[in-house]
Amino acid sequence: RHISTSVKEQLVYMSRNMKPKEIVKCTGIGKTCIYRTLGLWKRTSHVSRKPVRIGCPRVLNGIDLAYLESVIERTPDASLPELKSLLHQARRVSVSEATISRVLRRRGFTRKRVR
Protein backbone atom coordinates (compact mmCIF):
# COMPACT_ATOMS: atom_id res chain seq x y z
CA ARG A 1 0.00 0.00 0.00
CA HIS A 2 1.08 3.57 -0.55
CA ILE A 3 2.30 5.53 2.46
CA SER A 4 2.17 9.29 2.06
CA THR A 5 5.17 11.55 2.47
CA SER A 6 3.71 13.20 5.57
CA VAL A 7 3.35 9.82 7.30
CA LYS A 8 6.93 8.93 6.41
CA GLU A 9 8.09 12.24 7.86
CA GLN A 10 6.24 11.31 11.05
CA LEU A 11 8.16 8.01 11.09
CA VAL A 12 11.44 9.94 11.03
CA TYR A 13 10.22 12.15 13.85
CA MET A 14 9.15 9.12 15.88
CA SER A 15 12.51 7.44 15.32
CA ARG A 16 14.19 10.11 17.44
CA ASN A 17 12.59 8.67 20.60
CA MET A 18 11.49 5.17 19.58
CA LYS A 19 13.06 2.06 18.11
CA PRO A 20 11.73 0.80 14.77
CA LYS A 21 10.05 -2.20 16.42
CA GLU A 22 8.11 0.14 18.70
CA ILE A 23 7.08 2.24 15.70
CA VAL A 24 5.77 -0.92 14.01
CA LYS A 25 3.57 -1.64 17.04
CA CYS A 26 2.23 1.94 17.18
CA THR A 27 1.59 2.49 13.48
CA GLY A 28 1.04 -0.93 11.95
CA ILE A 29 3.45 -0.05 9.15
CA GLY A 30 5.82 -2.84 8.18
CA LYS A 31 9.33 -2.80 9.59
CA THR A 32 10.87 -3.07 6.13
CA CYS A 33 9.14 0.13 5.08
CA ILE A 34 10.27 1.86 8.25
CA TYR A 35 13.90 0.75 7.81
CA ARG A 36 13.82 1.74 4.14
CA THR A 37 12.38 5.17 4.95
CA LEU A 38 14.90 5.81 7.72
CA GLY A 39 17.77 4.67 5.50
CA LEU A 40 16.69 6.96 2.70
CA TRP A 41 16.36 9.81 5.20
CA LYS A 42 19.92 9.25 6.42
CA ARG A 43 21.32 9.13 2.88
CA THR A 44 19.38 11.94 1.21
CA SER A 45 17.45 13.82 3.93
CA HIS A 46 14.25 12.98 1.99
CA VAL A 47 11.69 10.36 2.97
CA SER A 48 10.59 9.42 -0.55
CA ARG A 49 12.20 9.29 -3.95
CA LYS A 50 10.98 11.70 -6.58
CA PRO A 51 11.20 10.40 -10.14
CA VAL A 52 13.09 12.66 -12.50
CA ARG A 53 10.33 12.45 -15.08
CA ILE A 54 7.14 10.45 -15.30
CA GLY A 55 6.69 9.37 -18.91
CA CYS A 56 6.34 11.52 -21.98
CA PRO A 57 4.08 14.56 -21.93
CA ARG A 58 0.61 13.93 -23.33
CA VAL A 59 -0.02 15.13 -26.86
CA LEU A 60 -3.78 15.51 -26.41
CA ASN A 61 -5.11 17.81 -23.70
CA GLY A 62 -8.49 17.63 -21.96
CA ILE A 63 -10.27 19.71 -24.58
CA ASP A 64 -9.03 17.41 -27.34
CA LEU A 65 -10.25 14.38 -25.40
CA ALA A 66 -13.64 15.98 -24.80
CA TYR A 67 -13.90 16.68 -28.52
CA LEU A 68 -13.10 13.06 -29.39
CA GLU A 69 -15.70 11.83 -26.93
CA SER A 70 -18.33 14.17 -28.37
CA VAL A 71 -17.55 12.94 -31.89
CA ILE A 72 -17.96 9.34 -30.75
CA GLU A 73 -21.26 10.17 -29.07
CA ARG A 74 -22.56 11.73 -32.30
CA THR A 75 -21.17 9.04 -34.61
CA PRO A 76 -20.34 5.88 -32.67
CA ASP A 77 -19.31 4.01 -35.82
CA ALA A 78 -16.52 6.48 -36.74
CA SER A 79 -13.27 4.78 -37.65
CA LEU A 80 -9.84 5.78 -36.40
CA PRO A 81 -8.86 7.47 -39.69
CA GLU A 82 -12.10 9.48 -39.56
CA LEU A 83 -11.46 10.47 -35.94
CA LYS A 84 -7.92 11.50 -36.85
CA SER A 85 -9.17 13.65 -39.72
CA LEU A 86 -11.91 15.28 -37.65
CA LEU A 87 -9.51 16.00 -34.80
CA HIS A 88 -7.05 17.62 -37.18
CA GLN A 89 -9.74 19.74 -38.85
CA ALA A 90 -11.41 20.92 -35.65
CA ARG A 91 -8.52 21.16 -33.17
CA ARG A 92 -5.46 21.45 -35.46
CA VAL A 93 -3.84 18.52 -33.65
CA SER A 94 -1.99 15.92 -35.67
CA VAL A 95 -1.63 12.55 -33.94
CA SER A 96 -1.42 8.96 -35.07
CA GLU A 97 -4.32 6.54 -35.11
CA ALA A 98 -2.52 4.49 -32.46
CA THR A 99 -2.50 7.49 -30.13
CA ILE A 100 -6.22 7.99 -30.63
CA SER A 101 -6.84 4.30 -29.99
CA ARG A 102 -4.79 4.37 -26.75
CA VAL A 103 -6.53 7.52 -25.52
CA LEU A 104 -9.98 6.07 -26.17
CA ARG A 105 -9.06 2.79 -24.48
CA ARG A 106 -7.75 4.73 -21.47
CA ARG A 107 -11.08 6.62 -21.35
CA GLY A 108 -13.05 3.35 -21.33
CA PHE A 109 -14.11 3.07 -24.97
CA THR A 110 -13.86 -0.34 -26.58
CA ARG A 111 -13.45 -1.19 -30.23
CA LYS A 112 -16.48 -2.78 -31.79
CA ARG A 113 -16.51 -4.02 -35.35
CA VAL A 114 -19.14 -2.61 -37.68
CA ARG A 115 -20.77 -5.31 -39.78
pLDDT in tens, 23-49: 999 999 999 999 999 999 999 999 988
Distance CA 60, CA 83 (A): 13
Q: Kindly give the interhelix angle for 80-91 and 62-74, rounded to the nearest 10 degrees.
A: 130
Q: Is the pLDDT of residue 101 over 80?
A: yes
pTM of the entire structure? 0.52
Integer Cα distance of 27 and 32 in angstroms: 13
22 to 19, 40, 112: CA distances (angstroms): 5, 19, 56
The span from the CA of 26 to the CA of 23, in Å, is 5
Nearest alpha-carbon partner for 70 in 12, 62, 1: 62
pLDDT of residue 115: 60
Given a cut of 90, whether residue 17 has pLDDT beyond it is yes
Percentage above 70 pLDDT, the chain: 96
Q: Where are the beta strands (DSSP E) in 11-56?
A: none
Domain borders along the chain are 5-44, 62-107
